[in-house]
Chain A
Amino acid sequence: MESRSQRSARRLLDWSRSRDPWLRLLARVWRYRTAYLFLLPFAVVFLVFTVAPVVISMLYGFTYNNLLEPARFIGFANYIKLATHDDVFLIALKNTIVFAVLTGPLGYVLSFMVAWFINELPKRIRPLFVLIFYSPSIAGSIYIIFGILFSGDFYGYVNATLMNWGFIDQPINWLADPKYMAFVVVICVLWTSMGAGFLSFVAGLRSMDRQYFEASAIDGVRNRWQELWYVTLPLMKPQLMFGAILSITAAFSIHEVTIALMGFPSTEYAAHTVVNHLWDYGYLRFDMGYASAIATVLFLVMIGCNKAINAMLRKVGK
């Protein structure tokens, strides 16, 4: 008589040698059953609260759904309305792209350059500079302070300083004048843009093998800029890809800053972003279908950007 475990082990052996690919897969799955158990708790939460929302957004985009009645399928009506009937969405899309173009690439390049400059410093003082540049991104909702710095009356620090130095006679209404609002948002977002991506760059640069630099110096690299382009950047590609993802996320998700500084809705919607618009329809008007369509547009734009950046990173150092 063979025991139960012996029997199952023999069946597994049979399966793994079977000609049926499904049985072979089943045998592999069964072999790694403990691994699946380890993965399970995270996978459940991750799938329900991170992946499912994305899928649901894409599906709900085709429905009318106010949460009270059952969702009703309406085809592409939401997207058609977005493109043709919703002027505010077009303004929001324009603003989002402007903010994303100004803060995304600029914040990304700035994060890398600052990390690289810090890495050029003697080892002892590096942590101090890392702390200074990283702090704004973790300091809670401290960007509210920009509302006081850029306050529209002459108590605002920027206005007071400019008036003191005689650049302007009248205080500029930074937070309510559409001419200046984008500028303030960009400054504020850039201030907080040295986040996890920046830390990734700092760490990647720090842990780089010195032999590459020694070899490149012998091969004729003459200064730090050549070294940056031909040695450092190609070696940093994995970190650069990670940083790119985080930059895209940050650049396209700008919304709290504009609400905190310019209110909701902002003057002439000049600081209205796609995420603001999404919240407007989702939480104020409870048109979840329409809000989901907005989210889907945003997902597609973000994935497209990520693909484009990865394609560009492949050309680095050539």
Chain B
Amino acid sequence: MAARRANGGDLLRLAGRSVRTLGEGYVRTRSGIRRTFHVRATRSASGNLANLLMLAIFSVLMLVPMLYVVNNAFKPVDELFIFPPRIFVQNPTLDNLRDLASILGNSWVPVTRYLFNTVLITSAGTALHVLFASMAAYVLEKYPFPGSKAFFALVITTLMFSATITSIPNFIILSRLGMVNTLWSIIVPAIGAPLGLFLMKQFMSTVPDSVIEAAKIDGTSEMRLFFRIVMPMVKPAWLALIIFSAQNLWNTTGDIYIRSESLKPLPYAMQQIMSAGVARAGAGSAVGLLLMVVPIAVFIASQSSIVDTMATSGIKE
């Protein structure tokens, strides 16, 4: 059909409507079938405009709470309690961040310890999750071994059972294994998160079987094939897995499984400051900003590879 795959940018006026040109095609109009240079006759310019306006209004609503968090972090205390309250800061100040730094600097357990815990949990949990999930996803997608279908069906079903609902039996299992009150209690269960395996397996389907067969004919070992050939090909997917897993672990407060203060992660310490109410409203708002900025910044940096991965995330019957 279309000889030219146009980029969809140029506009063409046809039958009184401006339409996008997307390549050659035939369009049925009131006066009969006619050959045109576009097939995007299903889009009206007014509809496109309405769509943009609606999304813009909607996104302002989505942004309000976040704008508020950002602005609050820079408000002096008198502005935090002004009536009527304002969203936007008048006299921006860094006092809140300084307050937060001094509170954290004077805490019983040094803040570097909380930070270390969170960094350790996030990096160890994410690295092992990506490695193990990729290995499992690779064989589930490429080798029809007995039980592979059943295992994957189990993975899909368990996508539904979030960690909050299984936390009680999990607590029992962790305590039997002697992992309660160690950082392992957060790291290990996160390694087996079904979402990562699911996304990775779906993305593995984009690796052509011929590549794997060719490597095998060349006598490449399984290990080499996986680490040197397959893993580089699914790079967008492991970036996505890193994001999902790291976000989850970065936000973990570990309030059930960890009792020792020196093993608590950073979000727990932050929550304590936030819950101190009016006395620490300034520092609390700085915490809000910190907790929000990290995951969003990571997402901005990796959006395109995440979206590439999610393109294969569908469940086929």
Contacts and interface: CB of A to CB of B under 8 A. Distances in A.
Interface stretch (B89-97, B98-106, B107-115, B192-200): B192-200
Contacts of B175: 67
A214 B23 contact: yes
Interface stretch (A101-109, A132-140, A172-180): A132-140
B136 interface: yes
A295 B168 contact: yes
Give the interface size bracket for B toward A. Answer: 35 or more
B84 A249 contact: no
Nearest to B197: A42
A92 interface: no
B43 interface: yes
B306 A199 contact: yes
Contact of B65 (A25, A136, A275, A282): A136
B309 interface: yes
B129 to A, nearest CB: 9
A157 B168 CA distance: 38
A217 interface: yes
B291 A139 contact: yes
B307 A130 contact: yes
Interface string B29-54: 00000000001111110011001101
B48 A204 contact: no
A262 to B, nearest CB: 14
A218 B51 contact: no
A139 B296 contact: yes
A38 B138 contact: yes
Contacts of A134: 299
A275 B163 CA distance: 11
A66 to B, nearest CB: 11
A242 B303 CA distance: 19
B88 to A, nearest CB: 12
B299 A226 contact: no
Contacts of A163: 84
Nearest to B43: A224
Interface residues of A, number: 115
Interface string A30-48: 0010111011011111111
Contacts of B164: 253, 255-256, 275
A166 B192 CA distance: 54
A297 to B, nearest CB: 11
B132 A120 contact: no
Contact of A140 (B155, B168, B251): B251
A226 B42 contact: yes
Nearest to A239: B314
Contact of B47 (A32, A41, A224, A226): A224
A199 B136 contact: no
Contacts of A264: none
B116 interface: no
B169 A292 contact: yes
A306 B160 contact: yes
Contact of B62 (A47, A120, A133, A275): A133
Interface string B280-317: 00000000100110111001100110111111011111
B59 A132 contact: yes
A226 B68 CA distance: 39
A142 B159 contact: no
B258 to A, nearest CB: 14
A131 B155 contact: no
Interface in B1-46: 1-2, 8-9, 22-23, 25-28, 39-44
Given A35-B139, A35-B143, A238-B315, A46 B26 contact: no
A206 B291 contact: no
Interface of B: 1-2, 8-9, 22-23, 25-28, 39-44, 47-48, 51-52, 54-55, 58-59, 62-63, 65-66, 68-69, 81, 83-85, 87, 131-133, 135-136, 138-140, 143, 145-146, 148, 151, 154-162, 164-173, 175, 188-189, 191-195, 197, 222, 226, 244, 247, 250-251, 256, 267, 271, 274, 288, 291-292, 294-296, 299-300, 303-304, 306-311, 313-317
